[in-house]
Structure 1
Amino acid sequence: MSKPLAIITGATGGIGEAIARRLAQDNWRCLLVARSESALHALRYQLGDEHLFLALDLNDEAAPITIAQHAEAQGGATLLVNNAGLNQMLPFENTPPNLMRKQLQVNLLAPMLLTQMLLPQLKSCQGTVVNIGSAFGAIGYPYQSAYCASKFGLRGFSEALSRELDGVVAIKYLAPRATDTQINDAQVRAMNTALGNKMDSPQQVAEIFMQLLNSKQRRKAVGFPEKLFARINGLLPELVDSAIIKQLKTIKSFLGSRESSL
């Protein structure tokens, strides 16, 4: 019996690569999707020849079709991991409209379109979709307006579709907190230290991903006190307003025009 096929977008980023490695250990075949062909080739070489890769940009309208066709040629996907994402920390008034569109496209619209394109394959095997969100999908954070909008949207999409496809396809949502990947440069690490924010390793996130995947849970948030903070934000957002506004001066001191692939 051939191994089930998992599609991972953003597969060469810190979290995406860790998830791909962990899935490969659990006898999944991976279709690795990212923009850099050289990085994909290197990862596939390490994982083994049974794994596949596609170098493409999720901003391309043809990307979902191309991915679905490649998966179909391999017998169909059993798992889709919508992990690719873009983030840039900027004041909203200085955020270029094209950057807002790009973040919403990659972080929200691309996962929706790819999920829709793959639904026939996933329905045929009662497969699973795991959308990789963020703690900022439950907590609006200053200088992250477009990113928060995209991740709030991804969380809402996951919740709605999970209820719509109950018993047909499992739709799950994983919300990591700050993660120790290459996208976090010295400036960002210094800001997290100054704010007392903990950072998880990609491997830790991948282990939690596997726990979610192999459970009946539909959603999982990573880390304490972030999980508690998100719950409080849902119930008493005024308390969170005060706590975050007190951080503004520190956050402003670390602002930079940084764009990253998660």
Structure 2
Amino acid sequence: MSALTIVLTGACGGIGKALAVAFSSAGHNLVLIGRNAEALAALRDGLPRPRSHRYLVADLSSAADIIELCADIADGPAIDVLVNNAGVSNFGLLSDTDDATMEQLLQLNMLAPMRLCRELMPLLLKSQNATVINIGSGFGSIGFAGFAVYSASKFGLRGFTEAMQREYANEQIAIHYLAPRAVKTSMNSDKVVAMNTDLGNAADDPEVVASAAIALLQQRKSSNRYLGWPERFFVRLNALFPSIVSSALKKQLGTILRYAKSS
């Protein structure tokens, strides 16, 4: 595959950095998106072929910033790929979650990818290799106690991706939903890490997600990919027999609540 130009949001996060390294190492050119100019510059300068990449600063929770960002992208080289990776998480009981936290989760995890897809789709469809990769979560298919709002945002992103796959089925574009299980990044608080340890939940390195994203660039047919075993199995089981998964998760509820209440 020839070099692609990839717009990557959340470039300075744990998964974002792994994606940036993987894409640039594969010979692709990047438009790195984030909120911190110094961090973006440092990331770009540390990548292979730094002069082949550029960065743009934007607050993706702002609709106005997204419009301005997309105008800046349109003024640059043609783009081939959009990777919606930016996002935030929150662990705690719904009763302890304030409106500001809810709004931030929905703005960044769901509305920002929707707005970016809407604004950049005309540019992407000009490419022979047009691709969108939406980074979701296993919690976008399995609602998990302590992550009610986060799960809702990722359920929304998954539904949006599915609808887009069908809406653009006649176009030459691959639209993917990539759902990691727990990933070893700073997004997870110490309490989340401790809870996962108690529950025996495995966590992947960010490079596992990056490797999966690289593989998706080779696929010209839209797809949904879930990472990790037995997580992939439980996603399918929950879709067919949710009561079985609910019974299994109820056995973990005491442990989850113990950590969530102390968050």
Greater relative contact order, per chain length (Cα 8 Å cut-off, separation 6+): 1
Partner of 1:19: 19
| Cα distance change on mapping 1:93 and 1:78 into 2, 3 Å | same
Query: 2:238·2:244 contact (CA, 8 Å) conserved in 1?
Result: yes
Partner of 1:195: 199
Query: 1:88·1:257 contact (CA, 8 Å) conserved in 2?
Result: no
Residue 180 (structure 1) aligned with residue 187 (structure 2): no
1:4 Cα deviation from its structure 2 partner: 2.7
Report the Cα distance in structure 2 between the residues aligned to 1:211 and 1:6, rounded to whole angstroms.
Answer: 14
1:255 Cα deviation from its structure 2 partner: 2.3
1:81 Cα deviation from its structure 2 partner: 0.3
Partner of 2:44: 44
SS in 1 for 2:38: helix
Describe how 1:149-160 pairs up with structure 2 within 5 A: 149-160=152-163
SS in 2 for 1:62: helix
Partner of 2:78: 76
SS in 1 for 2:80: strand
Task: For residues 65-124 of structure 1, give each alpha carbon's deviation from its aligned partner in whole angstroms, at most 9, with x where no partner exists.
Answer: 222222222222110000011111121112111211111111001100111000110111
Describe how 1:1-262 pairs up with structure 2 within 5 A: 3-47=3-47, 48-126=50-128, 127-166=130-169, 167-215=171-219, 216-255=221-260
Report the Cα distance in structure 2 between the residues aligned to 1:41 and 1:256, rounded to whole angstroms.
Answer: 39
Task: For residues 125-176 of structure 1, give each alpha carbon's deviation from its aligned partner in whole angstroms, at most 9, with x where no partner exists.
Answer: 1411100000000000011111111100100110111111123322110000
Report the Cα distance in structure 2 between the residues aligned to 1:182 and 1:42, rounded to whole angstroms.
Answer: 18
Query: 2:183·2:206 contact (CA, 8 Å) conserved in 1?
Result: yes
Aligned residue type for 2:31:
L
TM-score by length of 1: 0.93
SS in 2 for 1:124: coil
Query: 1:212·1:219 contact (CA, 8 Å) conserved in 2?
Result: no
| Cα distance change on mapping 1:3 and 1:214 into 2, 3 Å | closer
Please, which runs of 5 or more residues in structure 2 have no aligned partner? none
SS in 2 for 1:159: helix
Structure 1 outlier segments of 4+, above 6 Å? none
> Aligned-residue CA RMSD in angstroms?
1.6
1:217 Cα deviation from its structure 2 partner: 4.8
TM-score by length of 2: 0.93
Aligned residue type for 1:79:
V
Report the Cα distance in structure 2 between the residues aligned to 1:207 and 1:254, rounded to whole angstroms.
Answer: 32
Report the Cα distance in structure 2 between the residues aligned to 1:137 and 1:241, rounded to whole angstroms.
Answer: 15
Report the Cα distance in structure 1 between the residues aligned to 2:216 and 2:80, rounded to whole angstroms.
Answer: 15
Report the Cα distance in structure 2 between the residues aligned to 1:257 and 1:9, rounded to whole angstroms.
Answer: 32
